Amino acid sequence: RQTVLIYFFRGLIYMTSGKQNEFLTPEELERLSRDYLIEHKVITILSPDYVREHGVFWDDAELDWDECGYYTVDRDGVRFTGLAYEVYDHKDMKYYPFFNTDFQDGTLMDYVYYVNGLQDGADVDFYPSGALQSYRVYDNGKAVGKSYEWYENGMIKKVVDYSRKERIEFNKQGKITNQGKV
């Protein structure tokens, strides 16, 4: 019987190939939790106040994609550089019935850094409750390093290692449900 081994070395996640549908130990799962990664400074999350103070609200800047859908541009067609963010807003979300209207109060939905129209830096998403949903880093428009996605309760949902081109997905109980190449 072959098992999947996930381990950390110098803050990085590594995994060996193995049989799917294995459980991780509680300690291994804890090291992938949202709270653990923030507390141990594996990832850094900006506060909503910082994002609002230093960023540009997507709608206010009239940001959009260029005609090819590749670069982010402002209202004048200039490639955007800076921190952009979006919020959950009741009037904008009325077209999306799957959103719970209790959370459509201006809660931060996401933020991302851009350089010359390309994602460059942290791209962070939040649940309508304000809980961290995902974290990934871009370099010149390309995802790099490791990205993380969590369930709303903070348990790991998915880890992608772009340098090793590997991914691993979990159910809410910590059972590996899918893994393989990216």
Q: What is the pTM of this model?
A: 0.78
What is the predicted pLDDT for the residue at 24?
66
Whether the per-residue pLDDT at 99 is higher than 70: the answer is no
Average pLDDT, the chain: 81
pLDDT, tens digit (0-9, with 9 covering 90-100), for 103-145: 456 789 999 999 999 999 999 999 988 999 999 999 999 999 9
Q: How far is CA 144 from CA 2, 29, 104, 138, 171, in A?
A: 29, 23, 31, 6, 24
Question: What are the residue ranges spanned by the domains of the chain?
Answer: 1-33+155-182, 43-152
Lowest mean pLDDT among 87-91, 134-138, 172-176: 87-91
